[in-house]
């Protein structure tokens, strides 16, 4: 009994010696917006972290297959992504982002004529690769759902 008590006191003292700082809280990574494939073997999610130098959060898409230890980063860069959803077959992932296309004059990719901006739906093959714009609405997209493998309902 004394050994257990001494061990618990030791753990408490060690924990008390390593106090959390404000940076520890602000710079934590977090996962959100989990979406499972229909077969239940794969999950796509948003991992967010704080960029200490810029003082803002950045969020990217990650993929994890059950039974495997590796997580796969699907998106990179300075633009954040949100709301990933697998297509009914699981072959594509749709998500929202305000990223800009190379050579689009600052407008969202695939939307050079849409100057209003806002988030657009982008698609990505679930095996990886470069994403491409699926929508080009002037005011952006707030939400979407897959209707079938080739059709998205957007709001």
pLDDT for res 3: 54
Domain range for residue 106? 20-154
Q: Where are the alpha helices (DSSP H) in the chain?
A: 2-17, 22-26
Of the pLDDT bands very low, low, confident and very high (cuts 50, 70, 90), residue 15 is low
Q: Which of 150 and 11 is assigned the larger pLDDT?
A: 150
Q: Residue 2: inside a domain, yes or no?
A: no
Q: Residue 5: inside a domain, yes or no?
A: no
pLDDT tens per residue across span 79-96: 999 999 999 999 999 999
Question: Tokens at residue 143, please?
Answer: 């939400």
- Tell whether the model's pLDDT for residue 6 goes beyond 80: no
Q: How many domains does the chain contain in total?
A: 1
Quick check: 75 and 46 in contact, CB under 8 A? no
Q: What is the pTM of this model?
A: 0.77
pLDDT tens per residue across span 132-148: 999 999 899 999 999 99
Q: Which residues pair with 92 in a beta bridge?
A: 125
Q: What is the CATH number of the domain that holds 92?
A: 2.40.128
Q: Residue 86: inside a domain, yes or no?
A: yes
pLDDT for res 53: 80
Of the pLDDT bands very low, low, confident and very high (cuts 50, 70, 90), residue 52 is confident
Q: Find how far residue 110's CA is from the centre of its chain.
A: 21
Return left, alpha or beta for 126; rule: phi > 0 is left, psi -120 to 50 is alpha, else beta.
alpha
Q: Residue 107: inside a domain, yes or no?
A: yes
Q: Which of 113 and 47 is assigned the larger pLDDT?
A: 47
pLDDT for res 11: 58
Of the pLDDT bands very low, low, confident and very high (cuts 50, 70, 90), residue 113 is very low
């Amino acid at each position: 009994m004394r050994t257990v008590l001494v061990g618990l006191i030791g753990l408490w003292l060690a924990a008390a010696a390593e106090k959390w700082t404000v940076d520890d809280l602000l710079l934590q990574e977090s996962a959100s917006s989990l979406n499972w494939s229909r077969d239940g073997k794969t999950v796509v999610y948003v991992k967010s972290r704080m960029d200490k130098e810029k003082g803002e959060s950045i969020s990217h898409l990650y993929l994890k297959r059950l039974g495997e230890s590796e997580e796969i980063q699907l998106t990179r860069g300075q633009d954040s992504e949100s709301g990933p959803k697998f297509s009914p077959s699981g072959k594509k992932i749709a998500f929202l982002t305000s990223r800009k296309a190379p050579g689009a004059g600052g407008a969202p990719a695939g939307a050079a004529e849409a100057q209003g901006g806002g988030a657009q739906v982008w698609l990505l093959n679930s095996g990886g690769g470069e994403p491409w714009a699926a929508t080009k609405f002037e005011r952006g997209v707030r939400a979407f759902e897959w209707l079938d493998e080739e059709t998205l309902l957007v709001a």
